[in-house]
């Protein structure tokens, strides 16, 4: 579990709370590759005579970055003429978390 090149820690001498942890390369943050990153943060005095350390765990949150796929290649249905508006015709299924829309077709067939 290495975070080299992924996370950057920078310091400021002006505040008591000195550590700022930021993402330095978001291309390396991939949930499927590594779900957690562990940082060991060391605080030292200006003369390096005393120190303390803390462990920081950073959890990577998954987003759906995979190409959506339909469960079937072709869907087919039939509908009676003169049906009422909003009559259920067909359910089209694909991977979760996506929006489906009709991008071409004809109301007249």
In a domain, 102, yes or no: no
In a domain, 42, yes or no: yes
Angle at 48 between CA 24 and CA 22, to 5 degrees: 15
Give the structural domain span for 38: 7-59
How many distinct structural domains can be found in the chain? 1
- Report pLDDT for 14: 43
Model confidence over 38-80: pLDDT tens digits?
888 887 777 878 888 888 888 888 877 777 777 888 888 888 8
Predicted confidence (pLDDT) at residue 17 exceeds the cutoff of 60: no
Report the pLDDT averaged over residues 7-24.
59
d(CA 20, CA 10): 5
In a domain, 101, yes or no: no
In a domain, 55, yes or no: yes
In a domain, 100, yes or no: no
In a domain, 24, yes or no: yes
Task: Name the CA dihedral angle for 80, 84, 89, 92, rounded to a multiple of 10 degrees.
Answer: 160
């Amino acid at each position: 579990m290495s975070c080299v090149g992924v996370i950057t820690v920078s310091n400021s001498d002006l505040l008591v709370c000195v550590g700022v942890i930021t993402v330095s390369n978001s291309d390396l943050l991939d949930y499927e590759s590594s779900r957690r990153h562990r940082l060991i943060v060391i605080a030292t005095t200006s003369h390096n005579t005393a120190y303390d350390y803390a462990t920081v765990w950073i959890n990577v949150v998954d987003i759906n970055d995979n190409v959506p796929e339909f469960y079937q290649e072709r869907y087919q249905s039939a509908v009676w003429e003169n049906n009422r508006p909003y009559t259920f015709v067909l359910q089209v299924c694909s991977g979760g978390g996506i929006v489906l829309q009709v991008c071409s077709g004809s109301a007249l067939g």
